[in-house]
Amino acid sequence: MAVIALPSSVAAIVAELPRSLVLSLTPIIFIGVLLVFTNVFTTIRYHLAQRRNASSTKPQLPAPLPYTLPFLGQALSWLAPQPGLFWHRIFNAYPDLRRSGTCTLQLANQRAHILFAPAAVQALFRAPLTRYQFNKKLLTTSLGLSEREAALFVGLDDDTIDPDTGLNAIQLQERMNHEYLLKPERVNELTKEFIRVLKDTLDGELKNEGEEVELDLYEWVRNRMFKASTDAFFGTNMMEMMGPQFEEDFYEFDRSFLTMFFGVPRLFAPNAFNVRDRLLDGLERWQKQMQENTNGVPADPDGDIDWEPNYGSRADRARQQYYAKRGLSLRARGGMDLGFLFGASSNAIPATGWMLMHIIDPNGDKTVLPRVMEELQTAKNPDGTVNIQTLIALPLVASIFHEILRLYVDVLVTREISHDTVLPLEEGKNPRQTLLKGGGVVMAPSFLGHRDAKVWSPPGMPPYDVFYADRFLKTDPETGKTVFSTAGSVGKLFPFGGGRTICPGRVFAKQEVLGSVAYMLLNFEFEVLKYVDVKGKTVNHFPGLREGFSGSGIMVMGGDVRVKMKRRR
């Protein structure tokens, strides 16, 4: 066998190097070789898998994407804090990936299958897969519950039957969501209370003739809606007891929610954990005081009282009953209240801000604001309030709402693969299929469905990454009227998730957002003065996205719109 020797000049140079230098370079060379080998090996594996999947008629495993870092895989690039950056890099590097409809990521010790074929996403929603372990992890990492109390709340491995209802823990949660967050009469009660608090707050502003004020629009919206939402859900005592720092602490927690979920240690994110601890301390005190106020028995959520100042809404009182049935400590109850507050305020409020900013944007379509105002007048009651049922049926308003969700929602619909599962990758007979092996997780990122150029940028339609108020409007061929429609978006538009774990608060969230937009536009005029960045400095463009991890829900604006506001007369 022939031996390949180093050129004599190179060998001479190596021989003359100090032994200490050679020894110090050895680990670096080894690491470099390991990284190159890992990248080459995983790249070859990816292309072989893609070729196999394209020619096979049998269900195949998703192609595992290449990576360079052994043991970590794509974990570090996955945690890039710029919305969509990871996906842009992946699809630019592997242009053939979009056609495959699925792939696999290696996120440290976790194998994650990614679905973005609409047929596969829709099938995932129907599949008998759950996310109970995922929910438990969220409660322990982000909300600070102990392993024991998180398992108690979720109901893992617990078939204990509630004597009052004959249901187990998981069934109790499903019943609670259905009865108090989805039933129309309960949602309407909650919306009515939210609008009442919001109206009382806004009616006290700019009362004098000709009075006007300059402000940052989203900051103003966030403050007013946070109070209205918190009071409507939890009663007035929470805001009073938590103090003036409550809102700022909550939104700092909101920014750090996924930092804690992804396992970043306290050492590297001390402020995130300190803010959460401060919130939990306050909510534990609130829980203790409410226990004293009610003698440990909240008003019956099924009784005649729709809202009261201690525990607020029927939905919250039902949750307090569930906490007691599960034997949660007061601190754990505070953690779950923080999670409920996160669900109520972290998405609807930014969605409202985005809607208002786009509607009044002077550099956007200038016909949008007058058309919206014309629609809103039809939903205005004689006393100045808004008819919610009329409001949610307005076609342009509904189109704008869904365009905001399409453009700015980034959720990861996650399921645990408890057993081998086959899903179709396309519609029709004999479709291509993917095989998901048991033991990992599968995720459907809304970012990929919502920003698919093939779906949302057909000829004659503005680009998928541009706000377009009329995107969900069409002309009814029978009546000739303009109507709202999401036809053809199944598996491509899922801002609230899907299947059994679809967001239970979605009905109220829509009414909360549209009610806020309507009341603010009907009662105030906004003149845009300029755009500002997160530090309040003037910029020459509409606000972009704030830094954040994948799966953060509604992506928050990285800036604001400075406006001059005055009351409509």
Please, which residues bridge with residue 509 across strands? none
Give SS3 for 464.
Answer: coil
Residue 469: the pLDDT is 98
Exposure string for 222-238, b = 16+ CB within 10 A, e = fewer = bebbbbbbbbbbbbbbb
**Tens of pLDDT along 13-53?**
656 667 766 667 778 888 888 999 999 999 999 999 999 99
Residue 5: the pLDDT is 54
**Is pLDDT of 144 > 80?**
yes
Residue 230's contacts (CB-CB under 8 Å, 6 or more residues apart) are 238, 239, 341, 344, 345
- 3-state class percentages of the chain: helix first, strand second, coil last, to nearest 5: 50, 15, 35
CA distance 236 to 309: 5
The H-or-E segment that residue 553 falls in is: strand 553-554
CA distance 321 to 296: 10
Residue 27: the pLDDT is 81
CA distance 213 to 529: 12
**Is pLDDT of 408 > 90?**
yes
**Is pLDDT of 6 > 90?**
no
Across the range 414-432, mean pLDDT stands at 93
Nearest to 94 by CA among 72, 133, 71, 66: 66
Please, which residues bridge with residue 216 across strands? 562
CA distance 491 to 413: 12
**Tens of pLDDT along 296-319?**
999 999 999 999 999 999 999 999
Fill in the amino acid letter for 425. Answer: L
Across the range 472-492, mean pLDDT stands at 94
CA distance 560 to 214: 13
Question: What's the DSSP call for residue 430?
Answer: S
Across the range 144-156, mean pLDDT stands at 94
Across the range 145-157, mean pLDDT stands at 93
**Is pLDDT of 4 > 80?**
no
Residue 12: the pLDDT is 64
Take residue 410 and report the two structure tokens written for it: 């980034």
Residue 235: the pLDDT is 96
Question: What's the DSSP call for residue 179?
Answer: I
CA distance 107 to 64: 11
CA distance 372 to 362: 14
Across the range 282-286, mean pLDDT stands at 98
* 10: confidence class by pLDDT, cuts 50, 70, 90: low
Residue 29: the pLDDT is 82
Across the range 253-272, mean pLDDT stands at 93
DSSP-H helix ranges across 497-542: 506-523
Contact, 225 vs 352, CB < 8 A?
yes
Higher pLDDT, 423 or 385: 423
**Is pLDDT of 346 > 60?**
yes
**Pairing assessment for the beta strands 441-445 and 110-115 based on DSSP bridges:** parallel
Residue 99's contacts (CB-CB under 8 Å, 6 or more residues apart) are none
> pTM of the entire structure?
0.93
**Is pLDDT of 8 > 80?**
no
Q: What is the mean pLDDT of the chain?
A: 93
Q: If DSSP states are collapsed to H, E and C, what string results for 261-303? A: HCCCCHHHCHHHHHHHHHHHHHHHHHHHHHHHHHCCCCCCCCC
**Is pLDDT of 1 > 80?**
no
**Tens of pLDDT along 169-227?**
999 999 999 999 999 999 999 999 999 999 999 999 998 888 999 999 999 999 999 99
Tell me how crowded residue 142 is: count the other CB atoms within 10 A of its CB: 22
Higher pLDDT, 327 or 10: 327
Q: If DSSP states are collapsed to H, E and C, what string results for 22-88? A: HHHHHHHHHHHHHHHHHHHHHHHHHHHHHHHHHHCCCCECCCECCCCCCCCECHHHHCCCCCCHHHH
CA distance 248 to 558: 16
Take residue 242 and report the two structure tokens written for it: 């938590």
Give SS3 for 360.
Answer: helix
Across the range 268-276, mean pLDDT stands at 95
Give SS3 for 490.
Answer: coil
**Tens of pLDDT along 76-115?**
999 888 889 999 999 999 998 999 999 999 999 899 999 9
**Tens of pLDDT along 223-252?**
999 999 999 999 999 999 999 999 999 999
